[in-house]
């Protein structure tokens, strides 16, 4: 939703309600990432009209402080950055548990410069992992090609463990790379600019699904 038209938010919400599967909401605090996006008033407004689950991606320091509030605001899925938790001395596993106790699916995120092995100890606790395919903090960036190899490495470990953990990618995702990402093992595709800046968002979403 970061790429949505905030003066006409209902139109962007309608696009997701009609053609997509989840709302992906990027929450930035100006500290973990340099940028600031939007907060509870916007999340709650979208929740009132969302007909699809809301996936809240926390790009914030001390994510554990805000889990309950985002769950109450209507999130069904909440993810946070492993590197944020680890640098603060928090245990990502405990935050994943906290998210689940609040009734949400729990996700762990890493930026492109964090080794994928960072995720491995948590693959049995996480419902999904989000492998950033651009650096967290800004919309509209170019997809990083090394993402394919990173997805394959995480997928191999998930299969080795025999867990149900899903893989999500976020950043620079569109019709041009969705098929190759799916083959690498991606389950959930976050597309912002590719959809909302398109002439025909439905066509783009269908293409990402592999229907076109």
> Is 170 part of the annotated catalytic residue set?
yes
Closer of 175 and 190 to Zn ion (Cβ):
190
The verdict on whether 5 is a catalytic residue reads no
Structure tokens at 72: 């109450």
User: Can you name the residues that pair with 190 across neighbouring β-strands?
Assistant: 170
Of 56-85, which residues contact Zn ion (CB under 5 A)? 57
Site string for Zn ion, 167-196 (x = CB under 5 A): ---x--------------------------
Nearer to Zn ion by C-beta: 188 or 211?
Answer: 188
Please give the helix or strand (H or E) that residue 169 lies within, else none: strand 166-170
- The residue (of 57 and 81) whose beta carbon lies closer to Zn ion is 57
Site string for Zn ion, 17-56 (x = CB under 5 A): ---------x------------------------------
CB of 37 to Zn ion, least distance (A): 10
Instruction: Tell me whether residue 33 or residue 98 sits nearer to Zn ion (CB atom).
Output: 33
Q: Are the C-beta atoms of 17 and 50 separated by less than 8 Å?
A: yes
> What is the Cα–Cα distance from 53 to 155, expressed in whole angstroms?
24
Find the catalytic residue in 26, 29, 55, 127.
Answer: 26
186 phi, psi to nearest 5 deg: -75, 135
Helical ranges in the chain per DSSP H: 9-19, 40-49, 67-72, 82-87, 92-101, 147-161, 175-184, 193-196, 201-209
Which residues participate in catalysis according to the annotation? Answer: 26, 170
Binding site for Zn ion (CB under 5 A): 26, 57, 170
């Amino acid at each position: 939703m970061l790429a949505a038209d905030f003066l006409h938010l209902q139109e962007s919400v309608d696009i997701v309600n009609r053609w997509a599967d989840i709302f992906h909401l990027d929450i930035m605090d100006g500290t973990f990432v340099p940028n600031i996006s939007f907060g509870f008033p916007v999340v709650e407004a979208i929740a009132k009209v969302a007909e699809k689950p809301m996936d809240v991606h926390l790009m914030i320091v001390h994510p554990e402080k805000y889990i309950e509030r985002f769950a109450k605001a209507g999130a069904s899925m909440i993810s946070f950055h492993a590197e944020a938790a680890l640098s603060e001395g928090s245990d990502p596993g405990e935050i994943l548990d906290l998210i689940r106790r609040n009734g949400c699916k729990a996700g762990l995120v890493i930026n492109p410069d964090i080794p994928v092995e960072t995720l491995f100890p948590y693959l049995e606790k996480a419902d999904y992992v989000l492998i950033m395919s651009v650096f967290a903090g800004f919309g509209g960036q170019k997809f990083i090609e090394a993402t394919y190899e990173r997805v394959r490495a995480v997928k191999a470990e998930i299969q080795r463990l025999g867990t149900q953990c899903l893989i999500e990618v976020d950043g620079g995702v569109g019709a041009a790379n969705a098929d190759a990402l799916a083959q690498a093992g991606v389950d959930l595709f976050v597309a912002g600019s590719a959809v909302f800046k398109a002439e025909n968002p439905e066509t783009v979403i269908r293409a990402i699904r592999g229907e076109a």
